[in-house]
Amino acid sequence: MKNNIALIGFMGSGKTTIGKTLAKALDMKFVDIDEAIVKKENCSISEIFQKKGELYFRDLEREVIEKESKDNNIVISTGGGAIIDNLNIKNLKSSSFVVFLDCDIDTIYNRVKHNKKRPLLDCENMLEKLVEIYEKRVLLYRISADFIVKIDSETNLYDSVDRIKEAYING
Ligand code: S3P
């Protein structure tokens, strides 16, 4: 049954912030997949990438998404790369109303450029890397979504939350 809401979108698109506010507004539980992975491994995302590699992280991500998708009445904030894996898309789509936070690249860059917590962007030319990954993924976000919310630097958090809430309630 599709009574969860899953937020998908690029790093820095606001999945955690919007997810927490949305969960509160709908009186649902909030689940952050990255946070669940950190808890499970007792290790930060950067450390997992560094010590065990991206593939190990993706296996954990798949496992946690599969487990959380079985829950009900939750808002799930996924990591930006969750949609790379078909099984994740299948699990999210079968359990959740999937919402793509379609944030423009400039806004994303401004939000992530001083943050060192994202191993995939931890390189010399962050913007180039960001654009490269974004272009590979943007279509996947679009086709996986039941609903798309446009976001830029001017977007008000509560407007986005209201729009998602309305779309979810109206099916
Ligand atoms: C990733 C995004 C991160 C985290 C990991 C990989 C990605 O989550 O899961 O660093 O592949 O885009 P956020 O989207 O919450 O930053």
Three-class HEC string of 68-79: HCCCCCEEEECC
Q: Taking 90 as the threshold, does the pLDDT of residue 103 lie above it?
A: yes
Tell me, using a 6 A CB cutoff, whether residue 118 lines ligand 1.
yes
Distance 82 CA to ligand 1 centre (A): 8
Report the Cα 54 to chain-centroid distance in Å: 17
In this prediction, residues 44-70 reach a mean pLDDT of 97
DSSP bridge pairs for 6: 76, 98
Report the residue among 43, 107, 118 best suited for mutation to probe ligand 1: largest number of ligand atoms under 8 A from its CB. Answer: 118
Report the residue among 30, 32, 34 best suited for mutation to probe ligand 1: largest number of ligand atoms under 8 A from its CB. Answer: 34
Residue 42 near residue 133 (C-beta atoms within 8 A)? no
What is the chain's mean pLDDT, rounded? 96
Distance 71 CA to ligand 1 centre (A): 22
- Express each pLDDT in 108-148 by its tens digit: 999 999 988 899 999 999 999 999 999 999 999 999 999 99
Q: Taking 80 as the threshold, does the pLDDT of residue 164 lie above it?
A: yes
Q: How many CB atoms are located within 10 Å of the residue 53 CB?
A: 11
Q: Is residue 79 very low, low, confident or very high in pLDDT (cuts 50, 70, 90)?
A: very high
Distance 11 CA to ligand 1 centre (A): 5
pTM (whole model) above 0.75: yes
Tell me, using a 6 A CB cutoff, whether residue 45 lines ligand 1.
yes
- Report pLDDT for 2: 77
Where are the strands (E) in 9-63, listed by range?
29-32
Where are the strands (E) in the chain, listed by range?
4-8, 29-32, 74-77, 96-103, 147-151
